[in-house]
Amino acid sequence: MLVGFKCPKDKENRKFDYCFNACSEHCHPTPLLYALSDQREVTPGTFSVTEILKPFQQVHFERTCDFYRDPASMMWAVFGTAVHHVISSMETRINGDFAIEVRFSVGIETPHGIATLRGTPDLYDKKKKILWDFKVKPYFNALKFTLNKEFPLKELGDHYQLNLYRVWGQPEAEKLKLCYIVRDHNKSVMREGVPPSLDRDVPIYNTKVMQDLTVERMTTHFACELGKQPPPECTTRDRWNGNKCGKYCGGSEHCPQYKR
């Protein structure tokens, strides 16, 4: 798990306590450093919907090994969290037709015992029966979002996450929608036809197929955690053709595949 920052000044790995209390020259204001360090505690046998869709090695090493990240590389993630907090704060200002960030937790039976799947869908429109998910994305991703007419079935991306939220958390939903908020939007981006936010319908996948996918992936994640098997190696797609390792995967320094 994340235990500290990779210091942008001396490039040394520093535990959070050092950064908060001992560092004489903070790279960022202390409250921001606390925000960057905030993370959900790892609970053995419990996996989030987001986690089970990630590569097995990434999840395994990030959950079981200590790692450090450059605080600047985490800034956009905090920005995304802040946007979600703003949206969730609107619950007191809208009528009761919307359910915002209602958490669910369900036991999934695997060959290794019961593992728990948890998730927090962003927004459910009770009246229209629409399940929404909000994503803060860079312009490049938003542009692909507008150009691609279909979601790639081979990529376990946002469309799968939203479908799993429906199956396990909001089965009465009759429509799924993704909303991309463009974090680096400007006038030139607008001229290219990309608005500050854009939404798109997500196809509803077969419930049984989604249930089977959940069991399959949770079985492997759980087996790795229990030490019953090593995590399967990442595919070229998992590694973004080599652009992900070392930059966006906290487990890379513990990963034998990355070190080869």
Residues 19-37 as b or e (16 or more Cβ within 10 Å = b): beeebeeeebeeeebebbb
Strand order in the sheet with 123-125: 98-100, 123-125, 130-137, 175-182, 197-202
The C-alpha atoms of residue 156 and residue 143 are separated, in whole angstroms, by 19
Per the prediction, the chain carries an average pLDDT of: 91
Long-range contacts of 6-13 (CB under 8 A, 24+ apart): 6/68, 6/69, 6/70, 8/70, 8/71, 8/72, 13/68
Residue 147 — pLDDT band, cuts 50, 70, 90?
A: confident
Q: How would residue 168 be classed by pLDDT, with cut points 50, 70 and 90?
A: very high
- Domains in the chain, CATH or no CATH each: 40-259 (3.90.320.10)
**Is the model's pLDDT at 95 over the cut of 80?**
no
* DSSP code at position 240: G
- Nearest Cα neighbor of 112 from 233, 224, 214 is 224
Provide the pLDDT confidence category of residue 246 given band limits of 50, 70 and 90. Answer: confident
Sequence-separated (6 or more) residues with CB below 8 Å from residue 136: 76, 79, 80, 83, 180, 181, 183
Q: Do the Cβ atoms of 175 and 130 come closer than 8 Å? A: yes
* CA 228/CA 128 separation, integer angstroms: 45
Q: What is the pLDDT of residue 22?
A: 93
Q: Are the CB atoms for 100 and 123 separated by under 8 Å? A: yes
Q: If phi over 0 gives left and psi between -120 and 50 gives alpha, with beta otherwise, what is residue 7?
A: beta
